[in-house]
Amino acid sequence: MKEIQQDDKFLWLLRNVIHYCLKTLGLLMVLVIISGVVDVAWTIYQRLAAKPMFILTISDVLATFGAFMVVLIAIEIFQNIILYLRDDVIHVKIVISTALMAIARKVIILDYDTLEPMHIWATGIVLVATGITYYLIHKIPDEGQK
């Protein structure tokens, strides 16, 4: 009987350590998000201040989109951390949507002139597979809706 109580205390301790680690990750992610927003603002300022002023080239727009997407992905990861802290369960729908956003960012910023065709095909296959997974997960009803 005493051994069971010690196991329960040990598991309680482990859960608390993980809980505080998640809180620390959440705080660090907020700092990353703030830093990312500052970086996006700085990137836009630099691109607009460069000669010719107030003109953005296609590569400038793509670089800015990439910076935006990184911040949005960081926000999605932060949401994952918060949901895990609140519910103590991994929300697969949000994880898949975060992965889809990360892949979309990669597709936006890729330089297709320098890539091998196999790399482009592989990226496309990963994008389609993740999109199908996202679609299927959203077709499956939540446990709470049964």
Dump pLDDT digits (tens) for 56-89.
888 888 888 888 888 999 998 998 888 888 887 7
Q: Are 106 and 62 in contact (CB under 8 A)?
A: no
Per-residue pLDDT, 90 = 74
Q: Are 98 and 80 in contact (CB under 8 A)?
A: yes
Dump pLDDT digits (tens) for 4-63.
677 788 888 998 999 999 999 999 999 999 999 999 999 889 888 888 888 888 888 888
d(CA 18, CA 54): 48
Q: Which two tokens stand for residue 143?
A: 């446990």
Q: Are 44 and 68 in contact (CB under 8 A)?
A: no
Give 3's pLDDT tier (boundaries 50, 70, 90). low
**pTM metric for this prediction:** 0.73
d(CA 111, CA 52): 24
